[in-house]
Amino acid sequence: MTPTLFALAVLVVALAAAAWRARRAELGAMRRAIADRERAERSGAGAATLQYPAIDLSRCLGCATCVAVCPEDGVLAMVHGQAAVVNGSRCMGIAACERECPAGAIEVTLGDLENRADVPVLTDALEAAGRPGLFLAGEVTAHALIRTAIDHGTRVARAVAQRVRLDRTPAPVARRALAVGAAVAAPSAVHATAVVPFDLVIVGAGPAGLACALEATRLGLRFVVLEQEPGLGGAVARYPRGKLVLTQPVELPLHGRLRRTTWSKEELIALWTGLAERHALPIECGESLIAVDPAPGGGFVVRTAAGRAFPASHVCLALGRRGTPRRLGVPGEELPNVTYALLDARDHAGRRALVVGGGDSAVETALALAGQAGATVTLSYRSEHFHRIRARNEQGLREAVAAGRLCVLAPSRVVAIAPDHVELDVGGALRRLPNDEVVVQAGGVAPLKLLQEAGVSFDPALRPPPRAKTDPAEPATPGRELRRALTAALMIAAAALAFVAWHADYYALPMAARPEHPAHRDLRPGRGTGLGLGIAAATLVLLNLLYLLRRARVRGFRFGSLRAWMTSHVATGTLAFVTALLHGALAPRDTPGGHAFWGLCVLMVTGAIGRWFYAFVPRAANGRELELAEVRRRIRARADGGGFAGRVRQEVTDLVERSQWPGSFGGRIAGLLGTRRALARAVRRLESDGRAQGVSAAELREARQLARDASRAALQVAHFEDLRAILASWRWLHRWVAAWMLVLLAVHLTHALVFADYFATPGVAR
């Protein structure tokens, strides 16, 4: 064996070993993702209570961009080459996945609304259905992000301005901005300005209310802001000291873009306070809403607990969703050492504290207290696991417990509270815990009754039907993106064909006869139009590569939607192929440039076509995966475990493990051959155990069918996954052919620049 052959053999073996290891790692990651999804579904954390990423598998290309840009760990993962929701309860509604998806296959929307009676029914303009002029904005709409609240408030002000149709010079309004924390003005101060109804009354001075007020100021609306707290900020003002409350850039009316990616509570409140003072926003603090009544002549009358009335043609309710804190309903809860918010953890150094709750607020409160010198902190949660907290809070919780700074009692519940101790039920046993203070973070009671009395409907029947979801097991018709790309390619090909037809007398000649044709001077690769086409082809290839920089989100290449960049990627690739073909005069030669052209041809096939048509197999695999998940749900519905139901669950789990997750393709084939025997043995064991336990014949038949369904679905998943792995080689081919094509193109350009003479006359010796 020559050294060259030996080196090639070593290279082949190394590549095979690397591919084997990569495949095992991919299967391992997929297995963990599916197990995490099943655990989340069992605990109720699979779906979010508010925002939720809904994935249309018929459009998902498997590019994994959504997984890469998601700011929360564990929400999304790749399963069988497509994106899947693993832990939906961790979704914060930032929607980075939706913005970045090049195929429009993911949408961050509210969860299952068919049976939700706590989410208001709104139009696209954020107007209460059946109540014209009454708008909702911010968290009260079930959207929790500050950025979304600001967008809501801005949209409401613009909608009101369009309806009011203000004159160019609106009548002056005596407006007065109360200093934050100042006393409430006398009723006459506002009534004097309210002889003419306000264009807009904004209830709430949180992010949505302030954004609405700023935009209303810019648009010249007559308005007033009512806030029940002594100062502005809404729920943000009640956050713990130093908490990061904004992690995405936003656009704030009358201020511009907040370009920083992180803002603490204090910084944001200071910014809002400065804007309120600078623009003299008419904010009435200490005004608690009690009713929004219809006015006799149309419009509304907003009434507050102070006995004041504010007539308005439009109302924006930016109340927030928390409402009043949820109480525990135990003896001692009225004691002064019980609070429902933590403003500054430094005030609790050296204290014994109990935090009650299992959400992000409770965990963050417990971690803040545990970081104080001499503090003894216990976290009580009614469930056994924390399934609805963000990944970074979960990590911080584990570290604090491991370091001994925090004690977690789960599952547990508070039974009674005393000035110097609390009593808890911990797993059925009563436990007395020395304590100085209790911080309850059990959520809040939304102001649903107040909203309903104002005319806001929560009837699920009034919501538009959800968008139909494509069955992932069925092939889908090509989407809008594919049609757009194919249309662009067709137009480019038609233009190229027209160019060739115009010069058919030249292109029909054999290569040896072309130099005698008059058009050769202009159409040959080294001069005139032919040279221009070559330069255009090389330029288009370079422009085509910019898509990779945008997809990788390289600094300086984060502008524009990834969907538009991908369409450009397909269009520039197609145009580069056509211009390169014309540059070579329809006759690519056995040169580096000719080989680069054929590489570009392979890229066209694997990139523009393979990406979409390959996607059928992942959809089929995910369809079978959903079947398998349904079998597991049917088993869980029988019983929580133990007895015959527990035996059925164990047998099905063993069948799935043997059928779905062998470590190699050969192991999968062996699993196929042995599956019938394994299934028969499992059924015999189930029937034997069932008869011994006195299980009815109907239950035995159901258990037998569950085992067979699970075995069949697991095998189908496994073999679709094998087929997907084989077909996924188009990605490998696409990438490496692209790299090789670029090398050949560089050689071709270098050769042309060094040796070509672009000014010589054809047929004339120098």
Supply the pLDDT for residue 352. 94
Supply the pLDDT for residue 185. 36
Average pLDDT across the chain, whole number: 82
Residue 137 · residue 156 · CB < 8 Å = yes
Pick from 703, 714, 717: nearest CA to 634? 703
Phi, psi of 120 (to 5 degrees): -65, 150
pLDDT tens track for 591-624: 888 999 999 988 888 876 666 666 667 877 888 8
Supply the pLDDT for residue 615. 65
Supply the pLDDT for residue 443. 80
Rg (CA), the chain: 33
Supply the pLDDT for residue 377. 95
pLDDT mean over 216-222: 95
Hey, what's the torsion of the CAs at 584, 586, 588, 593, to 10 degrees? Answer: 30
pLDDT tens track for 60-94: 888 889 998 888 888 899 988 889 998 887 887 88
pLDDT over threshold 90, residue 312: yes
Supply the pLDDT for residue 620. 78
pLDDT tens track for 27-59: 888 888 888 888 777 766 666 667 778 888 878
pLDDT tens track for 124-147: 899 999 899 999 999 888 887 888
Supply the pLDDT for residue 177. 40
10 Å Cβ neighbour count for 335? 12
Buried/exposed 427-466: b ≥16 CB within 10 Å, e otherwise: eeeeeebebbbbbbbbbbebbbebbeebbbbbeeeebeee
pLDDT tens track for 174-217: 344 443 433 333 333 344 344 568 999 999 999 999 999 999 99
Residue 316 · residue 137 · CB < 8 Å = yes
Residue 382 · residue 406 · CB < 8 Å = no
Supply the pLDDT for residue 250. 84
Q: Are strands 421-426 and 429-434 parallel, antiparallel or unpaired?
A: antiparallel
pLDDT over threshold 60, residue 282: yes
Listed in order, the ranges of the chain carrying CATH 3.50.50.60 are 134-324, 328-442
Q: How far is CA 429 from CA 411, 412, 414, 423, in A?
A: 11, 9, 12, 10
Supply the pLDDT for residue 696. 84
Q: Quote the CATH superfamily of domain 134-324.
A: FAD/NAD(P)-binding domain (3.50.50.60)
Residue 328 · residue 442 · CB < 8 Å = yes
pLDDT tens track for 730-747: 777 888 889 989 999 999
pLDDT mean over 274-288: 94
pLDDT tens track for 325-364: 888 999 999 999 999 888 788 888 999 999 999 888 899 8
| 194 class by beta-carbon count within 10 Å (0-12 exposed, 13-18 middle, 19+ buried) | buried
User: Which runs of consecutive H residues, i.e. helices, occur in 44-83?
Assistant: 65-69
Angle at 674 between CA 671 and CA 675, to 5 degrees: 80
| Model confidence band, residue 434 (pLDDT cutoffs 50, 70, 90) | very high
Supply the pLDDT for residue 646. 77
Q: Which CATH class is domain 328-442?
A: alpha beta
Supply the pLDDT for residue 173. 43
Supply the pLDDT for residue 183. 33
pLDDT mean over 478-506: 78
pLDDT over threshold 50, residue 477: no
pLDDT tens track for 91-124: 878 888 888 888 888 988 876 677 677 889 999 8
Give the C-alpha separation, 552 to 546, whole Å: 10
- The token pair at 374 is 């001499």
pLDDT above 90 covers a percentage of the chain that reads 32
Q: How many residues does the chain have?
A: 766
| Model confidence band, residue 444 (pLDDT cutoffs 50, 70, 90) | confident
What's the whole-model pTM score? 0.71
CA-based max dimension of the chain:
108
Supply the pLDDT for residue 180. 40
Contact residues for 505 (Cβ-Cβ < 8 A; gap 6+):
517, 519
pLDDT over threshold 70, residue 758: no
| Model confidence band, residue 554 (pLDDT cutoffs 50, 70, 90) | confident
Worst-scoring range by mean pLDDT, 11-15, 35-39, 468-472, 657-661?
468-472
Tokens 């060259």 -> residue: 4
Supply the pLDDT for residue 277. 94
| Model confidence band, residue 241 (pLDDT cutoffs 50, 70, 90) | confident
Pick from 127, 114, 124: nearest CA to 455? 127
Q: Which residue has the higher pLDDT, 418 or 621?
A: 418
- The token pair at 88 is 């939906």
pLDDT over threshold 90, residue 679: no
pLDDT over threshold 80, residue 676: no
pLDDT over threshold 50, residue 475: no
Which CATH number is 42-113's, of 3.30.70.20, 2.40.320.10, 3.40.50.720, 2.40.30.30?
Answer: 3.30.70.20
pLDDT mean over 431-449: 89
Contact residues for 540 (Cβ-Cβ < 8 A; gap 6+):
572, 573, 575, 576, 579
Q: Which residue has the higher pLDDT, 691 or 167?
A: 691
Tokens 């709430």 -> residue: 204
Give the C-alpha separation, 276 to 299, whole Å: 27
| Model confidence band, residue 466 (pLDDT cutoffs 50, 70, 90) | low
pLDDT mean over 159-178: 60
Supply the pLDDT for residue 212. 97
Examine residue 411 and say whether the peptide bond preceding it is cis (omega within 30 degrees of 0). yes
